Structure 1
Amino acid sequence: MGWLLSLVQFLIPRKANRWVYADGTLNSAIHFYRFCRAYDDREHIYVCRSKDLDRFRAAGVNAVAKGSLKALWFILTAKVFIIAKSSLEDLDKRLSHGALIINLFHGIPIKSIGLATYDNRSDKPEWKLQRYRKKLTQQYARYDFCCATSPFTQLLFQSAFGRPLEELPITGEPRNDFLIENRSNRQWLENKYGERVRRSKWVFAYMPTWRDYGEWQHGIDLEHLNRWLLEHDSVLILRAHPNDASFDIGERHLEAIIRSANDGGWSDAYEELAGTDALISDFSGLVFEYLLTDHPVVLYAPDYHKYLANRPLMASFDDMRPCELLTDYAALIQSLTDVVSGQYNFDRYHTVKHRLHTVRDASASQRVYDHIISRLNS
């Protein structure tokens, strides 16, 4: 069936007014999809996993299930593919001949990705690494990358994807438009979590990144943290990876700690960031996007050395961190106290924000859209 469709695609003309989108479990393409669908009268189709189909359709998204006959037809006939990963796994690469592929990626990379993952490796022979690099370079050459946010991140993406700087336009990330426009809007949180968010003066989000080594020792006294939050008229939304068992709340009644309703299906982290007053995280790319809100960031990583030994970074973390990195729970509580008392130190924050984001408006979607139209007309 696959080889037959691969041949058939050469006989079917692609429609410039039909665009297909796919995110997998991410949340980059969906924001651009919403912008485009409201902006023009083209046909915009979102390809998702079968388990998420009802969720998307209930939200008004023109969605079809990955692998369905409808999805295959739209992929065969769409001129524009919009993805958020380094591969075309959600939009069949065998059916992509003649398509303009726009890659929004999914955030500013701090952890090694793409070609950079094959640098300084001794676990495989050099000939095999060279083969991997060649294969990836050919794959990335198919894409128009619209994800750079500054000259600094252009260089990071160049290292990851091997494309010249002129092919990495500084557009900003479309999903950041939503974050900027809703930086102080709790509507999304209130709709999801109700009264506990509505009545609180401070809303913190804690979103640690996934550890490849699985469960880790976060060192947080959840009962003590819950008391601190109640004393400071605050709540905390805890959004860990669905497979991270490090935060086992169990049957404990922690009134001020809200475990994210992320159940392993598609869930937009940005809807849980918008309207928060501060973000606690570590090596997640969300840290760098959150700088656009001008709200405090707290970096907490008690396993800092273990993490860096396990996962190489694209750049020096010291050059990219917007604040001091904390490694013990007492320091974390002191930093949260500084936030609510107005004593948070923004000295590094704005320097890093300007290095990572030379476009800081809510117009990234428009710039990416204009880029696509220009490419279609060229």
Structure 2
Amino acid sequence: MQEIRRAIEIYNQEGGKKLLIDSKDYLVRQLSVIVYVITYVASMFFEKDDSIWLFTNHARNAGFSDNGKYLYLYLNEETDERAIWLTSSKEVHDALNARGYEVYRSDSWKARYLRLKSKYIVTTTTLGLVEWAYYGGSTIIQLWHGVPLKNLNLTGHHEPVHDLKEKLLKYDFLVVNSELTEQYLKETKRYTKAIYAGYPRNDVLLKDIPNSSLGIPVETNDLLEEIGNSETIIGYFPTWRKYEVNYDNFEYDRFDEFLEENDAHFLYKPHRYMEVNIDDQYDRIHLLPAYGDIYPLLEEFDIMITDYSSIVFDYLLLDNPAIFYPFDFELYEKERGFHLDYDEFTPGPKAYDFASLLQTIEECIDEDEYGERRRDVRRKILQGKNPHACEHIYETIKSES
């Protein structure tokens, strides 16, 4: 009935020609489901190699980063497993290959073969139906990539193809860092076992990891070395919105003067889906690449500014001050909404306009009053400091699969 009502709506609004085109596309998508299911069943009879851990289905434009990167490095450095990285990026492929890691382009025939052959499939985002079709008989590990401050934003029309995939797809292991995270993901993810280990990417905040510099943009690393540690470094990590918004919510001329007066630098790290342009005329305002890994460098930031990004929860492990700049709070709450109480789980001062942001930064440089609140939120979200998340994940999976 839902699809019939949608067809009537298209006909009334855009006419019969549009309805015919959409109906053809709809039928093709439905027929493709049959192909995917047949492929999935056939893949179950393909002999799996128990030594292969295939890292795939990374977030778009993420590069070599996030939880997958650190589990991949751990398996290569600390075990005899055959960890393989699939990527659509030539830059990532060449960088890993140059260091001797096994990596293939995700659209290659070798990658298709490995999808069928691998015993362990590791992902940090929701698997698409096309990928899922290759993994019959494999152990699927969902590392995920966030903490439950904001809603998952799954509202809107879903076709039967999507709904069927959600019913068929079940992860064998889901990695979480707290009960709050598991409850959050349980609403949308089907899985057999949750592993309470913390996220692999947090290991690098608590100990040195060989080759963790892989995936860091050269520009970011060079800039931090140029600034040094004699001045205050402020990192800005905004959240991407689906609605239109002015991300450049700053008066840059005034801001640059303010930073000079306070011996500080402002490093703007956009979300990978954002397009931000800042003139290079400023001495103390710097635009970082939106892609790549920033986690090995987080300890270089003296203060973090964000709005709704869950990167701040990882930053709590360093116990440095955080400032929250939700300049569009009412609109964001309406359009996206929050899974947790925003005020309770944002342990730092709030600024809702540029003038108050400057005042808040100045106060934060002079005195940090939120240490105990940060530690309280950290206990709730991360349940302590664990520098061995990768080891815990690996040993749990090997013992139970």
> TM-score of the superposition, structure 2-length normalised?
0.79
Greater shift, 236-245 or 70-79, is seen at 236-245
Does structure 2 conserve the Cα–Cα contact (< 8 Å) formed by 1:182 and 1:274? no
CA offset digits 1:186-235 (Å, max 9, x no partner): x8787332543225422111010101113325531122222222222222
SS in 2 for 1:323: coil
- Matches of 1:195 and 1:177, distance apart in 2: 22
- Matches of 1:309 and 1:74, distance apart in 2: 43
The yes-or-no answer on 1:37 pairing with 2:76 is yes
Shift in Å at residue 62 of structure 1? 2.2
Does structure 1 conserve the Cα–Cα contact (< 8 Å) formed by 2:171 and 2:190? no
Which residues in structure 2 correspond to 1:142-221 (within 5 Å)?
142-146=171-175, 148-161=176-189, 167-181=193-207, 191-193=221-223, 195-198=225-228, 200-216=230-246, 218-221=248-251
- Matches of 1:201 and 1:218, distance apart in 2: 24
Does structure 2 conserve the Cα–Cα contact (< 8 Å) formed by 1:237 and 1:260? yes
Does structure 1 conserve the Cα–Cα contact (< 8 Å) formed by 2:347 and 2:370? no
2:149 maps to what in 1?
A: 110
Does structure 2 conserve the Cα–Cα contact (< 8 Å) formed by 1:217 and 1:303? no
2:278 maps to what in 1?
A: 249
1:73 maps to amino acid = Y
Does structure 1 conserve the Cα–Cα contact (< 8 Å) formed by 2:41 and 2:136? no
The yes-or-no answer on 1:46 pairing with 2:85 is yes
Does structure 2 conserve the Cα–Cα contact (< 8 Å) formed by 1:171 and 1:368? yes
SS in 1 for 2:52: strand
- Matches of 2:160 and 2:376, distance apart in 1: 37
- Matches of 1:100 and 1:217, distance apart in 2: 40
Q: 1:155 to 1:199 in 2, by over 3 A?
A: closer
Q: 1:370 to 1:243 in 2, by over 3 A?
A: closer
1:196 maps to amino acid = E
- Matches of 2:164 and 2:181, distance apart in 1: 23
SS in 1 for 2:70: helix
Does structure 1 conserve the Cα–Cα contact (< 8 Å) formed by 2:42 and 2:136? no
CA offset digits 1:81-138 (Å, max 9, x no partner): 111012246x82111011101100002132222xx735xxxx66xxx79996674244
- Matches of 2:99 and 2:371, distance apart in 1: 37
- Matches of 1:294 and 1:337, distance apart in 2: 18
- Matches of 2:348 and 2:336, distance apart in 1: 21
Does structure 2 conserve the Cα–Cα contact (< 8 Å) formed by 1:103 and 1:144? yes
Does structure 2 conserve the Cα–Cα contact (< 8 Å) formed by 1:200 and 1:234? no
2:328 maps to what in 1?
A: 303
Among 77, 84, 87, the alignment partner of 2:117 is 77
Among 358, 363, 373, the alignment partner of 2:398 is 373
Shift in Å at residue 71 of structure 1? 1.0
Among 256, 265, 270, the alignment partner of 1:240 is 270
2:59 maps to what in 1?
A: 24
SS in 1 for 2:390: helix
- Matches of 2:101 and 2:327, distance apart in 1: 40
CA offset digits 1:137-194 (Å, max 9, x no partner): 442x234101x21222222222342558xx32311101111123369xxx87873325
- Matches of 2:165 and 2:117, distance apart in 1: 26
- Matches of 2:147 and 2:195, distance apart in 1: 14
1:12 maps to amino acid = F
- Matches of 2:44 and 2:237, distance apart in 1: 45
Q: 1:129 to 1:70 in 2, by over 3 A?
A: closer
**Structure 2: gaps spanning 5 or more residues:** 1-34
Shift in Å at residue 33 of structure 1? 0.4
**Which structure has the greater CA radius of gyration?**
2
- Matches of 2:116 and 2:161, distance apart in 1: 30
**Structure 1: gaps spanning 5 or more residues:** none
Does structure 1 conserve the Cα–Cα contact (< 8 Å) formed by 2:173 and 2:195? no
Q: RMSD of aligned C-alpha atoms?
A: 3.0
Percentage of matched positions with identical amino acids: 22
The alignment of Structure 1 onto Structure 2 pairs a total of residues equal to 355
Q: 1:324 to 1:131 in 2, by over 3 A?
A: farther
Shift in Å at residue 353 of structure 1? 1.2
Does structure 2 conserve the Cα–Cα contact (< 8 Å) formed by 1:46 and 1:63? yes
- Matches of 1:144 and 1:104, distance apart in 2: 8
Does structure 2 conserve the Cα–Cα contact (< 8 Å) formed by 1:326 and 1:332? yes
- Matches of 1:10 and 1:136, distance apart in 2: 19
SS in 2 for 1:325: coil
